[in-house]
Amino acid sequence: AQERVADGIAKQAFDTKKPVFILKEFSLQPTARVIIPYIASQQGGLNCLSCHNVAEGTVLGGIDIELDVKEYRDHALWVMVGLLALSIVAFALVFVNTARTIKNHVQQPLETLIDHAMTAYRQHQPVSPDQFHSREFSNVADEINLFNTEIIAHQDMLQKKNQELLALNDEIESTLRETIYTMGVIEEKRSHETANHTRRVSLFSQLLAQKAELTPREVELITAASPLHDIGKLGIPDDVLMKPGRFTEDERNVMMNHPAIGYAMLKHSQRDTLVAAGIIAYQHQEKWDGSGYPQGLAGENIHIFGRIVALADVFDALFSPRVYKEAWPLEKVVEWFGEQRGVHFDPRLVDIFIVDIDEFVAIYNQYPADKETEM
């Protein structure tokens, strides 16, 4: 032991007459320091007052002990590290066990339930609740079965209604096509056209549209709508329409009104077939070079429906006998169409027509101009 001058901490112990304990655990060299004040007293085995001429309770000095606690600090740290490691391992075990439990008792049964529910829905069979060990999943399976039963019942009802609507729509479309064809035949009869003119123009248009690679829906529309190409002639007076000889200039002007009349009759409809019929009625007298009527349209400004029906209508008129002319021979018809390529008719359509002329003639022979054919 050695004596030293009291520092501030020692004076604190002397002033308070109580021991002071200081631990410096966070330094590189941790220490523990204890200062115990030595107080004069006549009590006990050692009578301080007999040696010192001081009053009772006087602080005579103190014991200052400083210990190196690095070893103890390191030991405590290792204990803490060990506890932390054990905690991490315990947490990992809990996490793994929880994940495995969730997978075995929740995820896998849920996935199985979903798969079986989808299969049951597609095959219209119930999900078996007995395959699940959990009451909750068995209850869910029962709810799914109830839900599927209701959904399937509604779907069956909707499917039946859809089939009824499709059948009704088909009947409406069929009735519309039949009505359109009948109107075309009525116009044909009133105009004293050759027999089967309406049918042949429709079939010529269908064949030409297919070979021109129109969409199936466009082919369907032009086939159904083309019988009304001359429906505007119903608005032409009999003395002009049925005149056997050549028209006067005034009569020709009256006759040239029939496309506009036909369009006026059809333009208010929103049905696709009648919209197509209105286009055809209005544009089938237009010419590729712009010299046609009533609008003077040219080139691709003329709707493809109008261009196709124009060619089909003229071919039938030339190849059929009329009250005012004999039927043209096929060679003359082909030669004339070649001359009108890019003048009266779309050049591409003329090329298609001439290459496959035999197919158009076959349609004509099937529905000849001198014999009525039933619809």
- Which amino acids are annotated catalytic? 233
Residue that has been written with the tokens 């040696």 in this structure: 51
Strand ranges (E), the chain: 20-24, 31-39, 59-68
Kindly give the pairing relationship between strand 20-24 and strand 59-68: unpaired
Distance of CA 328 to the CA centre of its chain: 55
Q: Cis bond leading into 329, ω under 30°?
A: no
Is 73:25 a contact under the CB 8 Å cutoff? yes
**Token pair for 340:** 């009108």
Q: Is 20 helix (H, G, I), strand (E, B) or coil?
A: strand
On the CB side of 189, CA atoms within 13 Å amount to 6
Task: Tell me the C-alpha distance between 313 and 191, whole Å.
Answer: 14
Closest C-alpha to 265, from 163, 341, 187, 321: 187
Sheet with 59-68, edge to edge strand ranges? 20-24, 31-39, 59-68
